[in-house]
Chains A and B, each alone.
Chain A
């Protein structure tokens, strides 16, 4: 194990912790921006440090294709290659093969896919995924799992869960750098609580440095989503980090944190920025909209980021989707927003005012009190009273 996880504060299931990784001491809950090909699109590593990014994610599949894990290894690992001094996480590569490639076929040996280079069939085994990630050298590496869409039901979900459990042993056996890199196992099992339970138990038995909740954010309904998260976080060990994969909407992060999750990743903040959308406490602001053309306010008047301190919505409006600078400035703002959200979650838990923070967050996002039902349900399980921000019942209940 190459990490230390110390819980610094709690509110019911929610926790604020210090996660010490080989390259950085992180404060959780935390959001990890996605730097697919060894760069967060449009931002320099200095800017990422300035914004407060603690750990960023690299995609094994993309990096293995270009520039190749051998080259990254030869040049001293991904940290050195992209000059990022803080922490890194790489995924297993399995998800990209299934999501990006039509002809991916999963067998007991591994994931067979068509090479995007020459079209020949190629095989990614658990051993190979770990070997590639060992060469890339991230602080956290992910086990190869058998991913199925959450919208799929039936025996395929069960098969995938058991296969994920069989593959974790092959991953552990193949892992050559356990003193420098932390292998996280991934809980699968679709939306079936029985399968999820078997998977969690199986993984916990392996005493891994950390655990991820996988197979979510694939179009399942929100009620199923938070119930799976709640079930897994309740069953996972208290002294290990818990990572909900592919989660990136601010609301989802707040809910999952209340349920006891610690880490998140998503392309959403940077991708939506490139399409001209800014994240704000009220939700989103579409800078492409005509109404922005003569709006002389900053994107978010309360935001302290470089973009909001200097630029009007009107100016950003004339850049977005036309000029590279539009993507750069909005990505900067959106990641700043995500980092601020992470810091606020951490500090409000430490300062024992987490429920107040959650209520303020919900009030800004749902000023009319129309907090979605699934959020109310999840918060009840999390033991957080949000009645003050839910309009119809706000005062009549007590």
Chain B
């Protein structure tokens, strides 16, 4: 059915990238005490292998929300070459057939040397809506309204988009649902996993979805089943949906201990640095970056030191405006005349070119460049955080690294409490 120019696009894509377009390789290269690990992930179209634990950059329709493709190369490479996208972003506006005619995501987005991980939930504009999910398909709140997605429809999208890796359709439920509903979600997720695998196109690494809510037994049951399927990796869903941080380690460990060590594990819903550290400690390899999106929209810039996480002088002025020792709020009037970059010695595009005063002005007058500059800096900084995590694991120092980070945050919170009560 495709017209002449479209076929030529497809051909050139094949020539460029060979036949193993979607081949994925993964190997664990270092362990810290406990479950934390460093791995190497090689995607066929990415020229360099990427180390894990890694951050996948959240996108809107395949591109970072504010960083245009010509600015992407200013981010650290190859660390920034993993992008997460939701096929549901394309429910309106462009058909699967057209995406397929263009040649899939890589061709459509002009990002040939990037890896795309497709996951329906993006934790920003596409969220699971468990009350409307039924045995036919999973329901999501999306920018085009509430939509029920059947496995066959989902697989149509995956086949046309040709992501480097993709998660199977899951029935994600919040922590507070009944045991019966939670069990149903595991049953459905497993059934959809098999349907997705049956319908899966040639190529594209399949990540089997694991759910089970806040119930350890259900988590184990789901992990056990998925571990037995023919998949390239695992996508752990159902987090960041109302469970407490305290109950997480047990749930994460229960899953991680069942999964084969030699395959990558991706997670959704762990945002904050502390949450990422929690995931890494349980042996998770891939994280999303909705945290950066939320920081950027709030006018926040990450500032915590990357080389060694250390304790800091407490500045009481900062706490009033939502800043703490990990981030600053550039909307605050104290930055009006601050001609320093967000972080001294940071070599991101933003810090190399612009001052806090300028970004403060851009935020004040609601100019889009504020978000562009903040997303660049925050992405750069969070990628640095992941690099520090990997270094700590390689040096067998992860637990100490994590403890120091958490302690310094806690110290800050205590100081804030003291200031507030004084």
How far does the alpha carbon of A296 sit from the alpha carbon of B97 in the complex, in Å?
Answer: 11
Assess the A325–B102 pair: CB atoms within 8 A.
no
Assess the A328–B361 pair: CB atoms within 8 A.
no
Chain B residues with CB under 8 Å of A44's CB are 71, 349, 353, 369, 372-373
Assess the A83–B354 pair: CB atoms within 8 A.
yes
Assess the A38–B358 pair: CB atoms within 8 A.
yes
| Shortest beta-carbon distance from B379 to chain A in Å | 15
B101 at the binding interface (Cβ < 8 Å): yes
Binary contact track B1-22/A, C-beta < 8 Å → 1, others 0: 0000110010000000000000
**Interface range on chain B (Cβ under 8 Å from partner):** 35 or more
Assess the A324–B66 pair: CB atoms within 8 A.
yes
Assess the A46–B349 pair: CB atoms within 8 A.
yes
Assess the B6–A296 pair: CB atoms within 8 A.
yes
Interface residues in A130-154 (C-beta closer than 8 Å to B):
none
B357 at the binding interface (Cβ < 8 Å): yes
Binary contact track A25-56/B, C-beta < 8 Å → 1, others 0: 00000000000011101111111001000000
Assess the B94–A315 pair: CB atoms within 8 A.
yes
Question: Interface with A: B42-50, B57-65, B188-196, B402-410, which one?
Answer: B57-65
Interface residue from A42, A50, A317 paired with B369 (Cβ < 8 Å): A42
Chain B residues with CB under 8 Å of A43's CB are 369
Binary contact track A271-297/B, C-beta < 8 Å → 1, others 0: 000000000000000000000011011
Q: What are 8 A-B pairs at a CB distance below 8 A?
A: A37-B362, A44-B349, A83-B358, A293-B94, A294-B97, A296-B98, A315-B108, A325-B68
Interface size on A, residues (CB 8 A): 42
Chain A residues with CB under 8 Å of B95's CB are 293-294
Additional 16 contacts, C-beta under 8 A, given A44-B372, A296-B9:
A45-B353, A46-B71, A67-B336, A67-B357, A81-B361, A293-B94, A296-B5, A306-B69, A309-B110, A312-B102, A315-B102, A318-B90, A318-B94, A323-B61, A328-B66, A328-B68
| Shortest beta-carbon distance from B103 to chain A in Å | 9
Chain A minimum-CB-distance residue to B64: A325
Assess the B70–A306 pair: CB atoms within 8 A.
yes
| Shortest beta-carbon distance from A331 to chain B in Å | 9
Known A37-B365, A314-B102: A81·B349 in contact at CB below 8 Å: no
Assess the B110–A310 pair: CB atoms within 8 A.
yes
How far does the alpha carbon of A350 sit from the alpha carbon of B90 in the complex, in Å?
Answer: 48
A interface secondary structure, majority: helix
A166 at the binding interface (Cβ < 8 Å): no
Assess the A325–B66 pair: CB atoms within 8 A.
yes
Known A39-B369, A44-B369, A83-B354: A66·B364 in contact at CB below 8 Å: yes
A334 at the binding interface (Cβ < 8 Å): no
| Shortest beta-carbon distance from B335 to chain A in Å | 11
Chain B residues with CB under 8 Å of A82's CB are 358
A74 at the binding interface (Cβ < 8 Å): yes
Chain B minimum-CB-distance residue to A309: B110
B367 at the binding interface (Cβ < 8 Å): yes
Assess the B365–A66 pair: CB atoms within 8 A.
yes
Interface residues in A320-348 (C-beta closer than 8 Å to B):
322-325, 327-329, 332
Interface residues in A40-93 (C-beta closer than 8 Å to B):
41-47, 50, 62, 66-67, 71, 74-75, 81-83
How far does the alpha carbon of A42 sit from the alpha carbon of B90 in the complex, in Å?
Answer: 23
Chain A residues with CB under 8 Å of B373's CB are 44
A319 at the binding interface (Cβ < 8 Å): yes
B337 at the binding interface (Cβ < 8 Å): yes
B397 at the binding interface (Cβ < 8 Å): no
Chain B residues with CB under 8 Å of A306's CB are 68-70
Interface residue from A39, A47, A319 paired with B367 (Cβ < 8 Å): A39
Assess the A324–B65 pair: CB atoms within 8 A.
yes
Assess the A83–B353 pair: CB atoms within 8 A.
yes
Chain B residues with CB under 8 Å of A62's CB are 365
Assess the A39–B362 pair: CB atoms within 8 A.
yes
Chain A residues with CB under 8 Å of B364's CB are 66-67
Assess the A312–B108 pair: CB atoms within 8 A.
yes
How far does the alpha carbon of A230 sit from the alpha carbon of B372 in the complex, in Å?
Answer: 42
Chain B residues with CB under 8 Å of A67's CB are 336, 357, 361, 364
Chain B residues with CB under 8 Å of A318's CB are 61, 90, 92-94
A311 at the binding interface (Cβ < 8 Å): yes
